[in-house]
Amino acid sequence: MPIPDHQRLTRTFFRAVNSAPLFQRFFEGFGVWTSMALDGDSEARQIHEAWEALRCPNRAEIEEALARVNDISREKARFALTERAKKIGVDGSDSMPLERLALTMFLDYRKAFDLTYEFHEIEKAENLHTMIGRLPVPCAPTEPQIEKFKSALVRALSGEGNGPRMLVEVASPHPEKWMAAIPHETFVSPDFRFAEQNSNEIVAQDRRPLYEMILIYYPAKGVLKLRAGRGLSKVVQVAAHFATEILGEDAGFFRAHDVVSFSPLVAPGFDFPRGPKDHFRSVRTTMIRFRKHSSESFEQTLQWKEYSEDGEDVLDQLDAERVSLAEIDVLSLKLRFQFPDGDRDTRTVELGTPNRYSLDETERDRYLERVLAGWGFLNLEAKEPRDSAGLP
């Protein structure tokens, strides 16, 4: 898969792992532990300093491995990482810091680690453009079909700054979706930072190439999600070629639809209900942007003050100001989901009409997508009946 845009590796990562034996096994695997002058009782600070000072021919390879462990141990990857750990039976995974769990999986369950990382790097992209197919269609393309798809994209997007060097990287098979990514062919500007705390030396750190395009298709739902750079025209072109070359359908198979609806807010008694299998603790509305029917040219925004003494969210504020949901058009809404693992274990989702929501494709966000669809905020099913699709 394309090289990811890595998170910065800092001393915090080493402190969170806080295990000299794990780091010893990691660095021994690359043949450098002895040269770092460390032992099994070394503190996290000493290990970090030894790593920063390490100069060896394979440093880039070691740094790439450490960066991947660091990337997958961030909060955004929590659900994907912990669920994979449960499935493969990692002892003590429920109580480990994410950083230690990620390094343990890298050392002891490398195949599972690589699969989790590969999918997470594609899945963590937010604000994908959603296209709805006319009906669900299986997706099991052959290599010739994939090559035709690549060639069709090169021809179609050659005038969009991509050109013949464009790469289409197809992800490994997944039981629920078909994924592909296209890395940008240029590097963005480098970051400049101080080499160390209290140092006057400034070093340049090249960023990794970003994804130019991401494509995720759900065969069971007939839903195609795309991030395709700037402009709707590119999204439409990619969707058309995916339909013709990968699915064997006509070019107009996918269309943009109104995916987001705020109608549940005006349903009598609606209060973000939890089902028996739901594992979030509570939901707060933290922002609402709306227009009153009586003044359609004027938009208003209310924000929730997290530390307010009365604990009111924005729907409470609307009610206090005697603004009825029936007399406004909601343009966007932020919902903050609180999960059981502490006050910081939250996820804020923004919804905007007609077709924008800030969920990515990681495991937790796909769970939240199902919750929102169950409440009626999202409609992510093929729209037209089978007979209107021109099929027998």
State residue 40's pLDDT score.
86
How far is residue 212's CA from residue 209's CA, in Å, rounded to a whole number? Answer: 9
Whether 16 shows a pLDDT value over 70: the answer reads yes
pLDDT at 222 over 70: yes
CB 214 within 8 A of CB 181: yes
Identify whether 390 is part of a domain.
no
Of the residues 106, 123, 140, the one at which a domain ends: 123
Same domain for 200 and 233: yes
Bigger pLDDT: 317 or 160? 317
Whether residue 204 has pLDDT greater than 50: no
Do residue 301 and residue 239 come from a single domain?
Answer: no
Mean pLDDT of 70-76: 84
Task: Write down the pLDDT at residue 3.
Answer: 42
Does residue 195 surpass a pLDDT of 90? no
Q: Evaluate if residue 142 carries a pLDDT over 80.
A: yes
Q: pLDDT at position 214, please?
A: 82
Over the stretch 240-257, which tens digit does the pLDDT of each residue have? 999 999 999 999 999 877
For residue 190, what pLDDT is reported? 45
Do 159 and 75 fall into the same domain?
no
Query: What is the rounded distance in angstroms from the CA atom of residue 229 to the CA atom of residue 155?
Result: 17
Instruction: Indicate whether 349 pLDDT > 70.
Output: yes
Whether 213 and 296 map to the same domain: the answer is no
Per-residue model confidence (pLDDT) at position 212:
61
pLDDT at residue 192 tops 60? no
Instruction: Give the pLDDT of residue 194.
Output: 52
pLDDT of residue 244: 94
pLDDT at 306 over 80: no
Out of 123, 141, 162, a domain closes at 123
What is the domain extent for residue 328? Answer: 263-375
pLDDT at 354: 81
Could you tell me which residues are beta bridge partners of residue 52? Answer: none
pLDDT of residue 384: 57
303, part of any domain: yes
pLDDT at 128: 76
Average predicted confidence (pLDDT) for the chain: 81
Q: Does residue 4 have a pLDDT over 70? A: no
Tell me what the mean pLDDT of segment 349-354 comes to: 88
As a whole-number percent, the residues of the chain with pLDDT over 70 amount to: 81
What integer is the mean pLDDT of 121-126? 68
Whether residue 389 is contained in a domain is answered as no
Which is more confidently placed, 122 or 116?
116
At 247 the pLDDT is 94
Query: What single-letter DSSP state applies at residue 90?
Result: -
Q: Give pLDDT tens digits for 156-170.
A: 776 655 444 566 777
* Distance separating alpha carbons of residues 99 and 129, to the nearest angstrom: 32
Rounded CA gap, 378 and 365, in Å?
13
- Three-state secondary structure of 159-207: HHCCCCCCCCEECCCCCCCEEEEEECCCCCCCEEEECCCCCCCEEEECC
- What b-and-e string marks burial along 59-74, b requiring 16 or more CB atoms within 10 Å of the CB? eeebeebbbbbbbbbb
**pLDDT score, position 189:** 42
Return the pLDDT at 86: 87
**Same structural domain for residues 240 and 192?**
yes
Domain count, the chain: 3
Question: Could you give the percent of the chain with pLDDT greater than 90?
Answer: 35
Question: What pLDDT does residue 311 have?
Answer: 60
pLDDT of residue 184: 52
In a domain, 74, yes or no: yes
pTM, full prediction: 0.59
Out of 238, 255, 272, a domain closes at 255
Q: Answer whether residue 62 shows pLDDT above 80.
A: yes
Same-domain check for residues 68 and 91: yes
Q: Does any domain span residue 279?
A: yes
Q: Is the pLDDT of residue 233 over 80?
A: no
pLDDT at position 210 over 50:
no
Residue 389: both structure tokens together = 């699709």
